[in-house]
């Protein structure tokens, strides 16, 4: 895995204002039922954009959470040109005001939320713990952990209105405590003994995995399935294009978990190993 993480979900440099992207008229898609509604954070590029496109191709109305307004509008336009119902949301997961406005707009336009994919994330340096500052770890947690809590809690009222709510947290094999202890990649992408030590990134993804289990336990009675996905070693901006998978390939497991049937798995950590169902990774 890249020292900065295996996915390129919206690497963050500055904080954005709490406003929504301009809305164009929605693409018309003939349907006898209301479309399912999804929100993907960090959806203006990389894995997030690929996930949004694949969900849209399955007939969902997809809100594109984007910190960068220009990139968000570009992604919305390109997906709409392909006939998809894509709607840009100006959303910075570290800014509660933008998250609140996003939840309000989804409620006003769609009335509920069926799928939430927490894809927005940042990487960190590849330093070992003794050479990593507390500030760096704290900054990584702001997006990768605290941002996820902020988004889930703000959107839960809308997810509870769904008859099949799904939450997918984009994690990483580098967040597996078992893999780190063994210095072994369970997906087989890296040879044994070669796991990089990005302290901020790894600890944030381990914390995200814990949140996944805790939310899954809490929301089980509501019928909301909560799982973590490891997209694999995907070539994205965040790792300098070093991965051997494309964003479309990396989107496969998150989309699989976002579209699980009733009674599907919950509180699991699924990675990409080339098989149709993926491989269950150790926490």
Report yes or no: 188 and 199 within 8 Å, Cβ to Cβ.
no
> Among 163, 205, 162, which residue's Cα sits nearest to residue 2?
205
- 230 has a pLDDT exceeding 80: yes
Distances from the Cα of 235 to the Cαs of 1, 47, 122, 229, in angstroms?
Answer: 10, 9, 15, 16
- Structure confidence at residue 142 (pLDDT): 98
Dump pLDDT digits (tens) for 6-32: 444 433 333 333 445 654 444 444 445
CA pair distance 219, 173, nearest whole angstrom: 24
More confident residue, 126 or 238: 126
Per-residue pLDDT of 56-70, as tens digits, reads 999 999 999 999 999
* Contact in structure between 97 and 18 (CB atoms under 8 Å): yes
Q: What is the pLDDT of residues 165-208, one digit of tens each?
A: 999 999 999 999 999 999 998 877 778 888 888 999 999 999 99
Q: How high is the mean pLDDT of the chain?
A: 88
pLDDT tens digits, 246-261? 889 999 999 999 999 9
The residue behind tokens 């164009």 is 24
* Adjacent-strand bridge partners of 230: 271
pLDDT at 95 over 50: yes
pLDDT at 47 (0 to 100): 94
Supply the Cα-derived Rg of the chain in whole angstroms. Answer: 17
- Residues with Cβ within 8 Å of 235's Cβ and at least 6 positions away in sequence, in order, are 241, 242, 243, 244, 245, 246, 247
CATH topology of domain 37-280: Rossmann fold (3.40.50)
Q: What does the block give as tokens for 251?
A: 């989107």
Q: Does residue 63 carry a catalytic annotation?
A: no
Q: Which of 141, 201, 233, 269 is catalytic?
A: 201
Per-domain residue ranges for the chain? Answer: 37-280
235 pLDDT higher than 70: no
Query: Between β-strands 166-170 and 225-230, what pairing exists: parallel, antiparallel or unpaired?
Result: parallel
Q: Which of 178, 170, 143, 122 is nearest to 3 (CA)?
A: 122
């Amino acid at each position: 895995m890249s020292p900065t993480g295996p996915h390129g979900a919206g690497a963050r440099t500055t904080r954005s204002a709490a406003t929504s992207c301009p809305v164009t008229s929605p693409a018309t898609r003939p349907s006898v039922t209301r479309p399912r509604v999804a929100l993907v954070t960090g959806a203006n590029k990389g894995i997030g954009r690929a996930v949004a496109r694949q969900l849209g191709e399955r007939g969902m109305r997809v809100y594109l959470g984007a910190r960068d307004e220009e990139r968000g509008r570009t992604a919305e336009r390109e997906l709409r040109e392909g006939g998809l119902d894509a709607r840009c949301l100006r959303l910075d997961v570290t800014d509660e005001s933008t998250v609140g406005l996003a939840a309000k707009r989804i409620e006003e336009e769609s009335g509920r939320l069926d799928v939430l994919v927490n894809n927005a994330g940042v990487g960190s340096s590849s330093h070992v713990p003794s050479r990593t500052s507390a500030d760096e770890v704290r900054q990584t947690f702001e997006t990768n952990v605290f941002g996820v809590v902020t988004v889930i809690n703000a959107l839960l009222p809308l997810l509870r209105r769904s008859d099949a709510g799904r939450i997918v947290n984009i994690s990483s094999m580098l967040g597996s405590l078992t893999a780190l202890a063994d210095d072994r990649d369970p997906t087989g992408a890296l040879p044994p003994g070669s796991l990089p030590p990005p302290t901020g990134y790894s600890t944030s993804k381990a914390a995200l995995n814990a949140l996944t289990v805790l939310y899954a336990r809490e929301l089980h009675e509501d019928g909301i399935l909560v799982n973590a996905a490891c997209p694999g070693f995907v070539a994205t901006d965040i790792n300098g294009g070093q991965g051997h998978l494309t964003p479309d390939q990396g989107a496969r497991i998150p989309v699989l978990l976002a579209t699980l049937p009733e009674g599907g798995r919950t509180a699991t950590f699924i990675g990409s190993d080339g098989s149709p169902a993926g491989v269950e990774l150790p926490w």
